């Protein structure tokens, strides 16, 4: 989770004008959210002025500002935010090359995230992400992979699009077109309403480059 202060620090280290950047990219209107949440409470037949609810619109607005932080940024801006890479050791890369001529892949598993379904604004939970890529000339810091997944999930999302967004950003940062993203998760729009199947899980895969056709690479992700 990244506060505004953290983002300012990241952009200060990158030599950017942080205050201008944050103001330019602030899209979440908390006052409008407060107003409309109060209206929803009224529409539900409750009294937004009663003791238990009088601060609810403000609390919800603050929560939305936090859990939807990723909506302030495009994929390109997230890539710039976490664009910390290191040159690949070409000698080691050559020694580790497979018969297909590609260096060994990087895999980060069990990245915990949560998000909100854009169809019902319902929570997507118990989500775990696996991100893999075959380095080209540079490798990204491992923690940045988790940070990218975290920021992408802080949007109104579809599980399928979370995978494609992560893959796009990893490619943008590393220059590698060989990227895979696997996600599993539960959707409360399916577990807590409608069909109400609490044990149902959704699995999605996003394969780019060699991962699309190389079954041996896919098997190494299991």
In DSSP terms, 202 is beta-bridged to: 185
- CB of 166 within 8 A of CB of 129? yes
- CB of 180 within 8 A of CB of 131? yes
Quickly tell me which residue has 């994929």 as its tokens. 75
Indicate if the alpha-carbon torsion angle 157, 167, 77, 59 is positive or negative: positive
- CB of 131 within 8 A of CB of 145? yes
- CB of 177 within 8 A of CB of 208? yes
Active site residues: 117-120, 159, 187, 189
Q: Whose CA is closest to 216, among 132, 117, 128? A: 132
**CA-CA distance, 197 to 188, in Å (whole number)?**
9
- CB of 96 within 8 A of CB of 106? no
Question: Left if phi > 0, otherwise alpha if psi is -120 to 50, otherwise beta: which for 141?
Answer: beta
């Amino acid at each position: 989770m990244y506060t505004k202060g953290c983002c300012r620090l990241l952009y200060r280290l990158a030599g950017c004008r942080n205050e201008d950047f944050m103001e330019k990219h602030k899209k979440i209107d908390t006052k409008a959210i407060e107003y409309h949440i109060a209206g929803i409470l009224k529409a539900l037949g409750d009294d937004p002025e009663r003791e238990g609810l009088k601060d609810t619109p403000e609390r919800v607005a603050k929560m939305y500002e936090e859990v939807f932080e990723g909506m302030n940024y495009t994929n390109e801006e997230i890539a710039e935010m976490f664009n910390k890479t290191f040159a690949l050791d070409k000698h080691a890369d050559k020694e580790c090359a497979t018969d297909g001529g590609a260096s060994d892949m990087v895999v980060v598993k069990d990245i915990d995230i949560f998000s909100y379904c854009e169809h019902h604004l319902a929570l997507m939970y118990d989500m775990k992400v696996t991100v893999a890529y075959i380095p080209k000339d540079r490798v990204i810091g491992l923690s940045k992979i988790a940070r990218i997944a975290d920021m992408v999930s802080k949007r109104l999302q579809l599980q399928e699009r979370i995978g494609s967004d992560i893959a796009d950003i990893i490619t943008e940062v590393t220059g590698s077109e060989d990227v895979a993203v696997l996600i599993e998760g539960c959707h409360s729009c399916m577990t807590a309403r409608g069909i109400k199947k609490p044990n149902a899980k959704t699995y999605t895969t996003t394969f780019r480059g060699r991962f699309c056709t190389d079954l041996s690479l896919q098997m190494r992700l299991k």
